[in-house]
Amino acid sequence: MTDKFDVIVIGGGPGGYVAAIRAAQLGLNTACIDMNTGKDGKSALGGTCLNVGCIPSKALLDSSKHYHHLQHDYAAHGISVSDASMDVKTMIARKDGVVSQLTGGVAQLFRANKVKQLHGRGRLLADRRVEFTPHASEETRLLTADNIILAAGSVPVAIPNVSYDDEYIIDNAGALDLTEVPKRLGVIGAGVIGLELGSVWQRLGAEVTLLEALPTLLAAADKDISKQAARLFKKQGLDIRLGTLVKSASVVGGEIKVLLEDKSGTSEVHFDRLLVAVGRKPYTEGLLAEDSAVDLNQHGQIEVNEKSQTTVAGVWAIGDCVRGPMLAHKASEEGIAVAEMIAGKAAHIHFDTIPWVIYTDPEIAWVGKTEQQLKEEGVAYRSGSFPFAATGRGLAIGNAPGLVKMLADEDSDEILGVHIIGPGASELIAECVVTMEFQGAAEDLARIVHAHPTLSEAVHEAALHVDKRAIHRGN
């Protein structure tokens, strides 16, 4: 017998599970197939994000930040603690608790919305049929649907001559599950994962060395932000070596020997653990039968148009396995948009206003164009900025490095980009995204009342500074 659904979603990450819930809300008979299995051997929905990505990394960033503040920052507040110690196993258990609460929450939402959850592997066949192999089973079932959404996500990229062994040479999942602080942690790639997870273990006492191939740190960020970031991370003790190519890595006698090449030639460095974080690639292994007729592009991504339609009518694809930034909120919004289009509604995503956040300390967040992009595109713009150190709240909380930088069109004053490094950047970027969605001007933000004393006053002052009329700094 063939099970028939209105919608089948393959993949239960933030793209797939959100698409399934929205489709069910719209009255569509929906199934979601996800093969991920948690530490307890049971289905664990939520994909990379909930299991080995966004959430566990933020849980560890939070724990390690408390420990770091205790050791380095609280004395200035008159708080002294002797014999502070970190029990890594407790920290990891807390993180696992947060993960299982959230993955269980998704299963609960599926039940509440009547999404049929199928634990196992899905494979797209021709004619909108899906072969489902239940977890720990060899038997397959045939399912069909009017619409199928592919949301298979991504996996870490590997580099030549550096093989993951899940003990010494690890990926993000391994770095989120270490049971003790490595004395020397090497990280290949000073990108988002390298900086976030490198920060976690550095705060807990590891000597962290980041080996980055490119000559600049965070090349996609605005140059004023990446310059500040490089300075602040160095001050924190992260050893970031730019322009460094890893030739090979091997485990010898319980340590990792890494052969490097940089401008001064070839050298060898030794680590106790090596995290490889050089990017992620779409995961499409075993997803598409030969006759499925769904095309991949030259980057290995599932080819989609601006509406997330693949090359086969009724088959859609979203999230990390298609073009665009590999971000959970991007995947989720695509999931909602596709479910609504399937239900006959209009939906659209503005890729230009998707925010980026890096959860280091200080946090980094941006939306829209960088100054270097505007220059390359020949767009005339005005720039305003404001340091957190000049806000009352920034000084009061005692964690005031960084700034807000705003870029606005020279003629229309429409905001084209906002770049923040500093405390609370992840939350502050939201008002900038909203303003840009409404095609707002720097003048609009400048005329909106911001509560005092808050960090959002730095956004307000940066908007005023676009017109060179900031109150609390020289113009």
According to DSSP, residue 243 is labeled S
Structure token pair of residue 293 = 């007729």
- Does residue 50 belong to the site contacting ligand NAD (CB under 6 A)? no
**Binding span for ligand FAD by CB under 6 A among 11-19, 89-97, 157-165, 441-449:** 11-19
- Contact string 298-337 vs ligand NAD (x = CB under 6 A): ---------------------------xxx----------
Omega before 453 within 30 of 0, i.e. cis: yes
Interface residues for ligand FAD in 37-96 (CB under 6 A)?
47-49, 53-54, 57
Pick the binder of ligand FAD from 212, 222, 320, 333 (CB under 6 A): 320
Of residues 115 and 287, the one with the C-beta less far from ligand FAD: 287
Which residue, chain included where needed, has tokens 């924190």?
236
Q: Of these partners, ligand NAD, ligand FAD, none, which one is at the site of residue 11 (CB under 5 to 8 Å by kind)?
A: ligand FAD
- Does residue 225 belong to the site contacting ligand NAD (CB under 6 A)? no
Pick the binder of ligand FAD from 172, 292, 360, 391 (CB under 6 A): 172
Residue 416 C-alpha from the chain's centroid: 22
- Does residue 275 belong to the site contacting ligand FAD (CB under 6 A)? no
Query: CB of 153 within 8 A of CB of 321?
Result: yes
Interface residues for ligand NAD in 191-210 (CB under 6 A)?
191-194, 196
Pick the binder of ligand NAD from 9, 150, 212, 457 (CB under 6 A): 212
- Does residue 328 belong to the site contacting ligand FAD (CB under 6 A)? yes
Distance CA 220, CA 345 (A): 34
Query: CB of 172 within 8 A of CB of 277?
Result: yes
**Which of 147, 178, 166, 171 is closest to 48 using CA atoms?**
171
Of residues 215 and 286, the one with the C-beta less far from ligand FAD: 286
Structure token pair of residue 433 = 């995204």
- Does residue 288 belong to the site contacting ligand FAD (CB under 6 A)? no
Angle at the Cα of 230 (from 244 to 326), degrees rounded to 5? 75
According to DSSP, residue 351 is labeled G
Helix (H/G/I), strand (E/B), else coil: 68: helix
Shortest distance, CB of residue 462 to ligand NAD, whole angstroms?
Answer: 22
Shortest distance, CB of residue 194 to ligand NAD, whole angstroms?
Answer: 5
228 Cβ contact list (under 8 Å, min separation 6): 401, 402, 403, 421
Interface residues for ligand NAD in 229-268 (CB under 6 A)?
245-246
Shortest distance, CB of residue 213 to ligand NAD, whole angstroms?
Answer: 4
- Does residue 122 belong to the site contacting ligand FAD (CB under 6 A)? yes
Pick the binder of ligand FAD from 9, 59, 153, 204 (CB under 6 A): 153
- Does residue 357 belong to the site contacting ligand NAD (CB under 6 A)? yes
Of residues 48 and 456, the one with the C-beta less far from ligand FAD: 48
Query: CB of 292 within 8 A of CB of 275?
Result: no
Q: Of these partners, ligand FAD, ligand NAD, none, which one is at the site of residue 48 (CB under 5 to 8 Å by kind)?
A: ligand FAD
Catalytic residues: 452
**Which of 227, 267, 221 is closest to 244 using CA atoms?**
267
Pick the binder of ligand NAD from 128, 280, 460, 465 (CB under 6 A): 280
Of residues 28 and 200, the one with the C-beta less far from ligand FAD: 200
Q: Of these partners, ligand NAD, ligand FAD, none, which one is at the site of residue 246 (CB under 5 to 8 Å by kind)?
A: ligand NAD
247 Cβ contact list (under 8 Å, min separation 6): 161, 259, 260, 261, 266
Classify each residue of 407-433 as buried b or exposed e, where b means 16 or more C-beta atoms within 10 Å of its C-beta.
bbbeeebbbbbbbbbbbbbbebbebbb
Structure token pair of residue 131 = 């072969």
Helix (H/G/I), strand (E/B), else coil: 41: coil
Distance CA 424, CA 430 (A): 11
Interface residues for ligand FAD in 12-41 (CB under 6 A)?
12-16, 33-36
Distance CA 86, CA 63 (A): 9
Torsion of CA 443, 445, 450, 454, to 10 degrees: -120
Distance CA 303, CA 297 (A): 5
Pick the binder of ligand FAD from 115, 170, 287, 428 (CB under 6 A): 287
Which residue ranges make up the site for ligand NAD (CB under 6 A)? 159, 188-194, 196, 211-214, 245-246, 277-280, 325-327, 357-359
Which residue ranges make up the site for ligand FAD (CB under 6 A)? 10-16, 33-36, 47-49, 53-54, 57, 121-122, 151-154, 172, 193, 283, 286-287, 319-320, 326-329, 331, 359
